[in-house]
Structures are given as C-alpha cells and as structure tokens.
Amino acid sequence: MTLERQVGLLSAHTGGLTAVGGVIVRLGCAKNLRLLAHEFVHVVQYKRLGREGFLQEYIQQIAAHGYQNVPFEIEAEADAHKACRDAGIAP
C-alpha cells in the first residue's frame, strides 16, 4: 500500500486533489460544486503559505492529527459548506 493511501490522503472515494493552483477532480465530479469549493479553499491555503509552506504544514498536520482531523481539511470543509450555503447550493 502506498503512503498516501496509508495516511488516508487518497482512497477509492477521493473526488479531487489540489496541487498549488491546480485542481484535479475525478471523472464525474466536475459538477460537484461542494467538492470544487473545498478544493478552491486549498488553493487559497496554498496562496496563503506558498507551495512549500503549505505542504510542510499539511504533512505536519497529518502526522499530528491524522488525515481525517487535519486542520486544513476542517477549514476547507467549513468554508466550502458556508460558500455553498451562502450560494443556496445544497451541501
């Protein structure tokens, strides 16, 4: 098993990934606005900390909290939920 699968970063249910300013989504997920909003929050996080700063912090957060409790992921979920709610999109 690869490291990204061991820590939960990638799974059969992974819908999208963000790499710096690029968002990659699984085929069939391109219209999932909640997923896109989540990934766009990661773009903002990358911009806030820079590529190396974000990745360093993200890896440290996974090591400290486990992927499911990574503060960056919690922030992305909360901001995506709020953005969808504010736009009238069902979460």
Name the site residues for Zn ion (rule: CB under 5 A).
73, 76
Measured from the CB atom, the residue of 36 and 73 that comes closer to Zn ion is 73
Distances 91 to 38, 74, 86 between C-alpha atoms, Å: 11, 15, 10
Nearest CA among 3, 1, 25 for reference residue 14:
25
- Residue 86 CB, shortest distance to Zn ion, in Å, is 19
29 phi/psi in degrees, rounded to 5: -105, 0
- Residue 88 CB, shortest distance to Zn ion, in Å, is 23
Measured from the CB atom, the residue of 78 and 89 that comes closer to Zn ion is 78
- Residue 48 CB, shortest distance to Zn ion, in Å, is 15
Measured from the CB atom, the residue of 37 and 76 that comes closer to Zn ion is 76
Residues in the chain, total: 91
H or E stretch covering 24: strand 22-25
